[in-house]
Structure 1
Amino acid sequence: MIDLFAGCGGMTSGFMAAKGFKPVMSVEFDLHAAATYAANFGESHTCHADIASIPNEEIPQVDLIIGGPPCQGFSNLGSRNVNDPRNKLWKEYIRFVRHATPKVFVIENVDRFFSSSEFALLQAEAQPGGLLENYELSSGFLLAADFGVPQRRKRTIVIGSRIGRIPLPASTHARPGTLDVMPAWHTTHDVLSGLPETPATTELPASSVEFFGKDVPGIFKSSDLHIGRNPTPLSLERYRHIPPGGGRFDLPDHLLSRCWREKKSGTTDVMGRMRWDMPSLTIRTEFFKPEKGQYLHPQWEQNSDGHSVDRPITHWEAARLQSFPDDFQWCGTKLQIAKQIGNAVPPMLAEAIARHLKPYLRGNSQRTHKTATCRLCR
């Protein structure tokens, strides 16, 4: 397989966990994300490069292409102007599909992509005369929590196939109390309980490693990412008022910022606290800032002598909520690693997609297989 716009390798991690998939090329422009990918899966097949710089003759023939090209600019794909910077990255993804001739390709993108004009143009390219006319497309939303990820992350998934239409995978987990025949969603408690409540440091270890002829910070173990912050007294006081599932609307007036006081609706997850009994909301790139979303640690007790953990989640905790295994390795600064974590496809979601695709890629005419138990259920 080829992984395009590979980031730190969340999608490759999931496909390799499903067994039977071999990455022969990955492409990632960001140096530190590419270094993280190389640290986990090998530097020899990792291209730290602008995807447009890779000539057609260097694109290998593969069974599968995976990746999440940015959606900006795809609206001009129909002009087929390869020099238009607004559609460059989408155009490059399709260029790889046309030259690698995979049996299947998988695209992951944000949920709003599904209702965009860009998505409509992608569908048009799979019609007769289009750039993807040999492929049948299946598309829809997948919720990461429905596949064992302890996170309510909703994403658009597109499966393109030239070996017959392949539907999206069926859920393997369900909201607690809704379907007794399935395991319940995994919760923050499943992955955060047992980790040290007080991080021992606010900094990553001082170390560096060379990838692609350049020095980058790393390689860091997941436990190295259990790093705290130094919140102000005002921030700490705000944190103490937020119950599980709550947010800025739980703050008394004297602790509200002016913008919060004047904005009476919306942004309900701002300054939010997670719940032990539910998956987290979407982990974004600034999960270490409670003012950006529901990122406060779920432990909270209201009484004066109660036990509360009044801090945002750490990088390690965010990686666990994204379903990265603890043996995953990381490169980059704190900010760069946070960006890698927030932008990644959750490996367990990718693994579920990979297991679903295996019988199709192997040519199993029955298209049936036993669904493997997810890592957190084992």
Structure 2
Amino acid sequence: MDLLKYTRNANFEARHQGNYQICLAYMPPGAQASCGSVLFYFLKQGRRRWNVESTHLYALPTLPLTIRLCLHLQFCTTLSKVKPFILLTMVRLIREEQINTLLRSKEKPTCLKGVVTVIDGGRLCNKIFEYVSVWALSRSYGLVPYVPDTIHSVLKDVFTHLRIPPLSELVQSFVNCSNINVTTLDTPSIDFSHLEATARKAIESEEPFVLSKYVILHQFIGPLVGQLKEEFKFRFEYTHIAQARLGDARARLEEFYGKRETLFVAVHVRRTDYIGYLSGKGVTVIADISYYRHAVAWMSRKLISESKTSHNIAFILAGDDKVWCEMTLLPEIQKEIHSFGKQTYLGGSSVFYLGDIDTPVVDLVMLSSCNHSIIAYGTYGIWSALMANGWAVVYDITANNKPEENKLNAAMEFENILPNWIKMT
């Protein structure tokens, strides 16, 4: 067995041993005997179905009404016959309802157990990923989530609702708690090499589980990507402006190529201060014109090959360097589009610079509203691509730089686990 498979199996067994403990903790009285089937089933199937079954633990199916009633009334007598992943889903639902009840309550326990939070750091999309990392870890391990008020106050003006409350609501209940106080909430407690073990221990601990600033827990966020649009809905004052911009691009394409379905491809550019940051980390070759041309060509071929009807393609360009985007990159992308030639299922294609550095949230909503994505690096582009949840091309920073530099591009971490993400140079 090679090292990768051995590591995966070891992680798998550790994870499901933790799920067994969660099952024991949160199943109704009299039903805990069924928890053994959870552990046995996943350990038995894990070595040949690791990738398939592990996704059930993060993106679990909705239970039928009969099972929900069974849980609510606690009169089930045949839980041992329920399929293990359904049983685990039942456990998660019970814990989720416990957490929701706790968060809705105005009076919090004096010394709350199983708290997960994060240290605030960075700009808008850093804060988004800090919040989402807390959310994803809470969903995976049944922890009670809280975020700093500084994160909550920024994101509540971006999204229509936030399920995770601000830390100030928890701090009020810190009196006489030896293991939880304002100081502990400013000290990261996470060891990424033992993240899952730390998360399992946190369930029964008064000591908070504190994530470090700038954190992106891709291994927990990735399996939940299909739930992001439902959980994180942008506010109307941003969406209607973003949709108006996309509508204008659609109208311009239809004027020249006729009315047909339009596919939108977001193209995000991150330059300015980030180039200096990468240079300071030893990166000498950054995403340049050739990368974006290759990505546009690949995306065009991919969308045409998948289509059964004629459609237009609108490449929506936005970034933090307007002059470079408009004067240098846009003409080159247009050349790539023209060189692609006339195709059977392509009505027409063009590129539009629709970004505005004075409206970063609108730009984020606009890129997130596209069907597919082309990004280089940076949290802004990564978040928009996750929200779009279509094909995503990311820059392979390791191709012409040191292999360890892949840690500087979190997009490549998602590319490793999301099948519709592709890396190239």
Q: If the length of structure 1 is used for normalisation, what is the TM-score?
A: 0.30
Higher helix fraction: Structure 1 or Structure 2? 2
Q: If the length of structure 2 is used for normalisation, what is the TM-score?
A: 0.28
Q: Which has the higher contact order (CA 8 A, sep 6+)?
A: 1
